[in-house]
Amino acid sequence: MSDEGFEVPKWDVALESLISEESRKLGQGLTLDDFIRLAKEHTIRFDDIIFTLFALCEEGLWQYHDENGALKVITQEEIDGLFVGGRIKEEDMRHLTGAWSQK
């Protein structure tokens, strides 16, 4: 998508900056609990952070590793299944016990 010749990201760049900075600060990938904490600390809707995270994964900028450290690609079908009802809730993602990180 373009806006007057500039590429417009499909995600919230402020949220991208927030999670990227948090990952750098912690020196590791972010877990579900980290995203929940960030949402509460910054009074941001949890599903807005997760929507941004999934968009970054789709673009190949972030990735998910399961609890054993194995890379797991989250498919669009899985993402669509999480967004049932229009919003994603913390409990919808409890099965994702690994960590998300920048590539």
Mind listing the pLDDT tens digit for each residue in 34-72?
999 999 999 999 999 999 999 999 999 999 999 999 999
Model's pTM, two decimal places? 0.88
Number of domains in the chain: 1
Sorted by sequence, the CB contacts under 8 Å of residue 87 that are 6+ apart come out as 45, 47
Sorted by sequence, the CB contacts under 8 Å of residue 47 that are 6+ apart come out as 83, 87, 88, 89
**Average pLDDT rounded to a whole number, residues 15-30:** 97
In a domain, 1, yes or no: no
- Residue 51 token pair: 């929507």
Task: Please give the residue range of the domain that contains residue 22.
Answer: 7-102
Average pLDDT, the chain: 91
In a domain, 36, yes or no: yes
In a domain, 22, yes or no: yes
In a domain, 83, yes or no: yes
In a domain, 16, yes or no: yes
